[in-house]
Structure 1
């Protein structure tokens, strides 16, 4: 009888142990509901797209979500993903971070999660009235023969300012975005000085002011972006992108066409598998991202407000992302 009681006690202890293991596992699963740490960068397309992912993770999947800032395609961003300080970025442009992708993604320190659905590139733009004029606004054509980079030197005085003359003035965002326009213009033989505004907002504030006054301006803009449509910009022809930077240290060509990618912290898949699967399924097109950015900029909405309006109108799309 004593032995039987001992056996029962042993069996009871074993069952209790198993139950505690299951309970512990359940607690672990509960704890894995966050925080998911999403990366915000210094451009509107990223911030509205990140806001959309955040809304769905929080409201539809019950995750706690935080955002942390890292400059676009920077060493800080890659180090944050490798260390687990940051978990996911929606929009990596491979042509702007080839060396960092080799260092972090090719070695497994950061996980490539696949395309986000955006095809991105950049162009040198001028407002249409610079080339064609605008009779309704009383603006005469200023550079009627301007079609390609080879025509720019003919009009360099038109685009010059007191600070750049005798060179023309070419507007760029920030050196940290690695457009390498100084090298590109020099390699193409274009006698213009690159002037950095410091941010997306500053560049488009200057474009807006020039457009209202009907003044000449030339600048780089990436697509997808709202500005070429809003300001009726015309792209200047450049040589096709081939074997130039970043593949080689040659810059005599146009901008790369990027299949924009998602990147993650390697531990996310194990720690929060459902969140990982949702982010892996997350897809957005050029037009969808642009529509959210236009809502933000034209209607003075926050990123979260613009993302919510899109979410409310497109349940049939985002529901397919949730595992």
Structure 2
């Protein structure tokens, strides 16, 4: 009898060690991670997926819209979203976590800025920048043949949200919002305008390589407050909401509420995961500027940071 107990104890110890070392996982079902349409998110998500695979989990990547993904996270058809930006996704995140069907797994370590941005050469044509009122007063300096006499603001893809049309209306700015179809198209617009010194103001975000490659500044809008988005009486226009800048802050990890119960070890890894703006901006630059394949960028990070992610796994 003693031998049987000893054998059972040894077996239990072996199983515990296997799970802790990442050679086994609680369920063989795939953990479904969402992919979006910008390089940083693809890199961030595939690093996370690679770490989970190293820990013995089955991983599946699913293309999904940034805001619409919350429907899938609520039902459990999707399991993990690695980039919910405080700047544009907080309302959707709060609504989803409020339902009890989605959980906030904490910060990624990335700190987000998403705002209107202009090349520094535009400051000579629009004195008073970066103040938003100066931008409003010289809207014609940003006009194109298609938008004249209105200035043109190049926004991100429609799926990113951001309330740019609402802001233009609330702040009575003579600008037409033109959405780029993709992240690549957005920065192709910047490259083209910058080379010719053409007028442009557009959506730029951090972490990203663009603010390092091009000289420019973010427009300074009235300071954001949650009430500015929800209460028309708050802000410079007493009759309309969204009359302020975008919020700034962390980029969050969001998960289906059942993930922790089904894959508790994976949940702990996801919670521990963190990365910083500098390394992410450098990786996005490799992908977007140097033409390195995203999977190759991810593989290099995994090799260079093995000691770091191994601690999260163990």
Answer yes or no: is the 8 Å Cα contact 2:113–2:206 preserved in 1. Answer: yes
Q: How does 1:144-223 map to 2 (within 5 A)?
A: 144-223=127-206
Match of 2:104 among 94, 109, 112: 112
Superposed CA offset, 1:247-288 (max 9, x none): 435222111013221111122212222111111111111212
Answer yes or no: is the 8 Å Cα contact 1:37–1:87 preserved in 2. Answer: yes
Match of 1:231 among 201, 206, 214: 214
Give SS of 1:291's match. Answer: helix
Superposed CA offset, 1:164-208 (max 9, x none): 111111110123222111221222232111111122111111111
Answer yes or no: is the 8 Å Cα contact 1:171–1:195 preserved in 2. Answer: yes
- Structure with larger Rg: 1
- Structure-1 residue corresponding to 2:297: 306
Give the TM-score of the pair, scaled to structure 1.
Answer: 0.82
Answer yes or no: is the 8 Å Cα contact 2:25–2:55 preserved in 1. Answer: no
Match of 2:245 among 239, 254, 265: 254
Distance in 2 separating the partners of 1:159 and 1:277: 49
Answer yes or no: is the 8 Å Cα contact 2:143–2:149 preserved in 1. Answer: yes
Give SS of 2:60's match. Answer: strand
C-alpha deviation, 1:244, in angstroms: 4.4
Give SS of 1:147's match. Answer: coil
C-alpha deviation, 1:160, in angstroms: 0.5
Gaps of 5+ in 2: 17-23, 233-240
Distance in 2 separating the partners of 1:157 and 1:88: 44
- Structure-1 residue corresponding to 2:46: 51
Match of 2:36 among 41, 51, 58: 41
C-alpha deviation, 1:320, in angstroms: 2.4
C-alpha deviation, 1:30, in angstroms: 5.9
Superposed CA offset, 1:195-238 (max 9, x none): 11122111111111111112121112122221111122212221
- Structure-2 residue corresponding to 1:69: 63
Match of 1:291 among 255, 273, 282: 282
Gaps of 5+ in 1: 1-14, 132-140
Q: Once superposed, what is the RMSD of the aligned Cα atoms? A: 2.5
- Structure-2 residue corresponding to 1:134: none
Distance in 1 separating the partners of 2:253 and 2:294: 19
Q: How does 1:3-152 map to 2 (within 5 A)?
A: 32-58=27-53, 60-72=54-66, 74-75=67-68, 77-131=69-123, 141-152=124-135
